[in-house]
Structure 1
Amino acid sequence: MSSLDDSLKKITILQILVVLLALIGLVILFDIFGYSISEDWVYVGVILYFIYRLRFFSSEFKQDLINIFAKITPKSLFTIVIVNVFFSYGMLYLSIFALDHIPGFRSLIFAPIFSILAITSLAGIGGLISTVFVSPICEELLFRGVFLNRLKLIVPTSFAIIISSILFGALHSYGNIISAFVFGVCMCIIYLKTKNILTCILAHFINNLLAELFVHIDSGNLIFTNDIFIVLFSILAIVSLYLIIISLRQEWKYIDKR
């Protein structure tokens, strides 16, 4: 087991909550005095805290970096990311369909309480750097590195995976919550298999990069307006969901043994 992993397990949820509240408080304070600061800096602040606590860029970090693919192949990692990307598009299609065809659903989803729960602004989805780099580092360290590890101490591993993934999903906006939950479960399993948080961060990097590429390449919004693309991505989403279910069924047999 790596020293980086050992150090992660020493960080408590209470410590993280204190850091988060302090950083959010600073953002609010600056806003009160008329200085608008992006919530992205909350994520940056959390990462700086982890750098301090984990001795990032030390020999232990370098060893984990070298061993990213020690217990999982690049092909397996990339496959997991791809199926999750296509599944997420399937969920987006369903969410848009629900908004357009279920009476009263739009007003329910966009009620104030749901707006509070979906704190996507913290992830800085407006910027490429924040989305592809800052968000994956912070979220993996938080939800897999701390929440999963600490929850495992008080509940069975299966429940720890589900709870941490629900929290991870709740951080995302409507249309992405379910797919984020599933992605979180996959990242939990990868972390449990590899004991290397850098492997999860890399997978998250690739996932967010692919999502951003789709957005920028599809300038005409064909994925959501062209019938051929909608059918194609829907089929890929169904196949991806099938592959995810099969994979999770196989892995779940060994989860509580880890």
Structure 2
Amino acid sequence: MNTNKFTLLNCLKIFVLLIISTQTLMFGFGFIGELFKLNDLVFLCFYIGEIITVFFTIIYLYKKFNLNLKSLLIPKKINPKELILMLLMLFCSYIVINLLTHTITSIAHIAKTLPDNNDEIGEVSDIAGMCFLICLTIIGPTIEEFFFRGIFLLKLKDNSNTIVALILSAFLFGILHPYGYAQQIRAFITGLFFGIIALKTNNIFYTIIGHIIFNSLTMIFGIIRRYSNFVQLGNGCFHFNAIINITSIVIFSVTLFILYKVPLSEVKI
């Protein structure tokens, strides 16, 4: 039986390994793409490097720590009421977290640092663009949840203080987002929120869904912002009008209370 324990030091080692390996492979594939004028390869070099790194890291984790992927990714039973309430809460939490981040960055006078566009998008093929969207909305969120909420939180808490594991996983998730303090603050808050969900459910099924929702909404609202005043980008985060914000806060609070305070058998949906 494998008795290796996943410790805080292991966590930091794996995080550094992921960063170095992904960046090295990204540079390699990017260099090859530039050398041979392969725009698609240059455009996707980060995700290609990330996927290769994650593949071999999972093999390492499975062999060294006897990692059980099924128990980590899939709950024993999916309650339809819980799923509906969770989806409502996750959708509204996106707006609430953006509102909270916007408030913090406004008070702290943190300027917007997110890039507004990407000039490379118009230079790649439709297939590369589709692969990018799949990576952005599905593969990327799944990978990040596997490591930050699965490994750096759920596995680490077994041999460490739960609060320490929660804060560390959220902090590492925050610094992974390099586009300025505003996005890092939002990522840290999101990491804490997803971490609480993971701790309550003891798996990352719902946090993967939540992360997919968050990334998809970011992409959708980014498109809407270009053609409508429905959503604005300020201080590096989206913000909406008062009605949408208040409604989202109410729905978020109610669903959160029901999920964690009221037996689902008493909930009528």
- Shorter-chain TM-score bucket reads 0.5 to 0.7
In 2, Cα distance between equivalents of 1:8 and 1:206 = 33
Instruction: Say what the alpha-carbon RMSD is for the aligned residues.
Output: 4.6
Structure 1 residues 225 and 18, CA, compared in 2 at 3 Å: closer, same or farther? closer
Matched residue, 1:183: 190
In 2, Cα distance between equivalents of 1:163 and 1:198 = 20
8 Å CA contact 1:86, 1:236 repeated in 2: no
Q: Does the alignment pair 1:193 with 2:204?
A: no
Matched residue, 2:148: 143
In 1, Cα distance between equivalents of 2:152 and 2:19 = 14
Secondary structure at 2:45's aligned position in 1?
coil
In 1, Cα distance between equivalents of 2:176 and 2:254 = 25
The answer for unaligned runs of 5 or more in structure 2 is: 36-41, 116-128, 234-238, 262-269
8 Å CA contact 1:90, 1:233 repeated in 2: no
Structure 1 residues 186 and 91, CA, compared in 2 at 3 Å: closer, same or farther? closer
Q: Does the alignment pair 1:204 with 2:211?
A: yes
The answer for unaligned runs of 5 or more in structure 1 is: 1-5, 116-123, 251-258
In 2, Cα distance between equivalents of 1:65 and 1:247 = 22
In 2, Cα distance between equivalents of 1:157 and 1:244 = 24
C-alpha displacement at 1:163, in angstroms?
A: 1.7
Q: Does the alignment pair 1:230 with 2:241?
A: yes
TM-score normalized with structure 2 length: 0.61
In 1, Cα distance between equivalents of 2:99 and 2:72 = 38
C-alpha displacement at 1:136, in angstroms?
A: 0.9
8 Å CA contact 1:9, 1:145 repeated in 2: no
Matched residue, 1:82: 91
C-alpha displacement at 1:140, in angstroms?
A: 0.7
Matched residue, 2:221: 214
Q: Does the alignment pair 1:160 with 2:159?
A: no
In 1, Cα distance between equivalents of 2:80 and 2:166 = 20
State how many pairs are aligned: 223
In 2, Cα distance between equivalents of 1:142 and 1:222 = 36
